[in-house]
Amino acid sequence: MSILYRLRLHKVLIQSLSFSFNERYLASLGGEDDKSNLIIWDVATGKALFGGPLGAKTPVVQAKFYNTADDKLLAISQNSIQIVTVEAAQKKIKTLDVSLGNMKRQFTCCEIDSADQFAYCGTKTGDFLEIHLERAIFKRVGPVKTLFSQGINTIALLPNGDIIVGAGDGKLAKVSIQSMQIKKYY
């Protein structure tokens, strides 16, 4: 194994990394010291296509490429969600804020379903929000009548559509995507 490129535009911390589904692009997200700058890298050349802040009012905690499009990402900050479109030819991005209505949450993590229809964003409150990506709106909250202690640290989607949630207190749970009810604790 050998080093192909050294990507050196971030100042201190790299908060999040995400490859596009076809490995054409790499998104790297800097930490608070870097003002949460997002950099989109061309993997073939090692050159940055775009670099700059997303305009979120609070630090961005995760950026994640869609599963079927290499020009779209979801970026979650502590209190907002943005859909980011990469315009590689113009070397710029466009952002669209997801409408959360009156829902106020601090986001910690996100996962996107395989068809890029919905995203699931974990919160410090201990629940997660389902986001309709095409419409850029909040759809529903889960799990029903339950909060995970110490918030949600990670979310994963199973092939059958169920969600695995990792909570801050060390518990794992499987949640039904249809009913938003907890099926099982691990």
Residue 85: closest CA among 97, 76, 93: 93
Question: pLDDT tens, 107-131?
Answer: 999 999 999 999 999 999 999 999 9
Distance, in Å, from the CA atom of 138 to the CA atom of 54, rounded to the nearest integer, reads 20
pLDDT value at 59 more than 90? no
Q: What is the CA radius of gyration of the chain?
A: 17
Question: pLDDT tens, 66-102?
Answer: 999 999 999 998 899 999 999 988 888 899 999 999 9
Q: Phi and psi (nearest 5°) for 126?
A: 110, 10
- As beta bridge partners, residue 167 has 152
Query: What is the structure's pLDDT at 88?
Result: 85
pLDDT value at 6 more than 90? no
The stretch 134-162 carries a mean pLDDT of 95
Q: Which stretch of DSSP H or E encloses residue 85?
A: strand 81-87
Domains of the chain, first to last = 10-97 (2.40.10), 101-186 (2.40.10.480)
pLDDT value at 55 more than 80? no
Read off the DSSP letter of residue 33: G
